[in-house]
């Protein structure tokens, strides 16, 4: 439980790049994420070329951590393989990757892609059947940020009906 809670978004990285073997280890775990009908519509593009990484770091202001990361992984999702659930499937695989990377001592941050799909497709030569769901900056952490605050459990858990704060979690514990 503590391990799951201790994953943080990392935006500053050491210069030393992680080995490709290590990244592949985390990607190997991402394959075990659940997906609708076990469609596994995900594809992963490992970005080691500084020029490509630099282009990706400029897709929007919050993509800047990519500039400082030694490596990136783009999660691309094949719409045809999972037309209804592709986004859900690939988000699940992304989270598996983030946690596996954390287990291997790597830091990551999820970079938003959804407003820049065409631009990313162009940079990476992706077909229209593939949607870039996430870009992940990857490297050895060079910071240890405090956990951003979370909404209290009591305010996000309902009982039997949406919005029903019937559960007195303090009492239930
Ligand atoms: C869909 C999604 C998009 C995100 N986009 C960005 C982004 O573009 N740039 C960034 O620095 N962080 C991004 N993040 C990271 C969040 O800011 C971060 O997960 C959140 O603040 C909670 O912090 P934590 O991951 O350390 O728990 C994104 C996270 C998600 C899930």
CATH number of residue 58's parent domain: 3.40.109.10
Predicted confidence at residue 59, as pLDDT, reads 98
Q: Is residue 83 part of a domain?
A: yes
Q: Is residue 171 part of a domain?
A: no
Q: Whose CA is nearest to atom 11 of ligand 1?
A: 62
Number of domains in the chain: 1
Mean pLDDT by 10 residues, the chain (173 residues): 98 98 98 98 98 98 98 98 98 99 98 98 98 98 98 95 76 54
Query: Of the residues 3, 75, 109, 131, which should be mutated to test ligand 1's pocket, given the most ligand atoms within 8 Å of the CB?
Result: 109
Domain containing 80: what range? Answer: 2-147
Q: Whose CA is nearest to atom 3 of ligand 1?
A: 112
The residue among 91, 93, 92 whose CA lies nearest residue 114 is: 91
Structure tokens at 123: 């940079």
Please indicate whether residue 109, judged by its CB atom, sits closer than 6 Å to ligand 1.
Answer: yes
Q: Is the distance from CB of 145 to CB of 122 less than 8 angstroms?
A: no
Q: Is residue 158 part of a domain?
A: no
Q: Is residue 164 part of a domain?
A: no
70 C-alpha vs ligand 1 centroid, how far in Å?
18
Q: Whose CA is nearest to atom 15 of ligand 1?
A: 110
Predicted confidence at residue 173, as pLDDT, reads 52
Q: Is the distance from CB of 60 to CB of 115 less than 8 angstroms?
A: yes
Neighbours of 99 (CB within 10 A): 17
pTM exceeding 0.85: yes
Please indicate whether residue 104, judged by its CB atom, sits closer than 6 Å to ligand 1.
Answer: no
Predicted confidence at residue 144, as pLDDT, reads 98
Q: Is residue 172 part of a domain?
A: no
Q: Is residue 85 part of a domain?
A: yes
Chain centroid offset of residue 76 CA? 11
Q: Whose CA is nearest to atom 6 of ligand 1?
A: 111
Residue 173: partners with Cβ closer than 8 Å, 6 or more residues away? none
Q: Whose CA is nearest to atom 7 of ligand 1?
A: 111
Q: Is residue 114 part of a domain?
A: yes
43 C-alpha vs ligand 1 centroid, how far in Å?
21
């Amino acid at each position: 439980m503590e391990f799951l809670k201790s994953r943080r978004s990392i935006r500053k990285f050491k210069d030393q790049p992680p080995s490709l073997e290590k990244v592949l280890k985390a990607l190997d775990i991402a394959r075990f994420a659940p997906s609708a009908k076990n469609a596994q519509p995900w594809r992963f593009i490992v970005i080691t070329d500084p020029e490509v990484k630099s282009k990706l770091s400029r897709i929007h202001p919050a993509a800047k951590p990519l500039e400082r990361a030694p490596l990136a992984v783009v999660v691309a999702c094949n719409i045809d393989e999972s037309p209804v659930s592709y986004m859900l499937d690939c988000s699940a695989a992304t989270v598996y990757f983030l946690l596996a990377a954390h287990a291997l001592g790597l830091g990551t941050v999820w970079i938003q892609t959804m407003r820049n799909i065409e631009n990313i497709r162009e940079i990476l030569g992706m077909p229209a059947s593939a949607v870039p769901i996430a870009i992940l900056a990857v490297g050895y952490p060079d910071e240890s940020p405090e956990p951003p605050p979370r909404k209290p459990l009591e305010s996000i858990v309902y009982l039997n009906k949406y919005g029903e704060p019937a559960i007195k979690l303090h009492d239930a514990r």
